Amino acid sequence: MIYSYRGYYSRKYEHDFYARKQYLAHVANKNEDVRKLLNSHHKELQRQEEIRQEECARTEFGELASNLHHLSSTKTIPGVYNPPYSQLKPQAFNVDIETHLKSTFKANYQWRPASREKIEFFRTLAKQQIKDRVMPGIATK
């Protein structure tokens, strides 16, 4: 009789099937919540990385385009990136490369007239250089 009571007590209080089933369901729900949180965090990190890579690619392309303005088209001669016999024109970031070249050139190399201060500075510099050339011809003691 002692052995049956010990088995009954063990099954009822120590190894309760329904309590264990409820605990495992709770752990599974918690696991699913953590998995969803980690997936959303991973997607956010991927999105930020894609944005950063696109910004780096745009800046690098802008630097390259600023150095390739001599390859753009003129009124009489088509440029390297504007082939006359092809229907497809090369593109970067959904804009023709020819347009990129022209826009970066116009943005970086706008002609600006010299200011009065610069003009006066160079006039005085030229006068000083002329004076320095004449001075060594004078004999000194």
Q: Are 98 and 81 in contact (CB under 8 A)?
A: yes
Q: What is the average per-residue pLDDT within 80-105?
A: 72
- pLDDT tier for residue 91 given thresholds of 50, 70 and 90: confident
Cα 35 to Cα 13, 38, 41, 94, 110: the distances in Å are: 33, 5, 10, 37, 55
Question: In the prediction, which pLDDT does 136 show?
Answer: 58
Region class of 113: left (phi > 0), else alpha (psi between -120 and 50), else beta:
beta
Q: Give ∠ CA 108-112-114 in degrees, rounded to 5.
A: 135
Q: Note the pLDDT tens digit of each residue in 100-112.
A: 777 776 666 667 7
Q: How many Å from the N-terminal Cα to the C-terminal Cα in the chain?
A: 136
pLDDT of residue 42: 97
Task: Report yes or no: 59 and 50 within 8 Å, Cβ to Cβ.
Answer: no
Predicted confidence (pLDDT) at residue 113 exceeds the cutoff of 90:
no
Q: What's the mean pLDDT in 76-98? A: 72
Distance CA 49, CA 59 (A): 15
Q: What is the pTM for the complete model shown?
A: 0.50
Domain borders along the chain are 2-114
Q: What is the pLDDT of residues 22-56, one digit of tens each?
A: 999 999 999 999 999 999 999 999 999 999 999 99
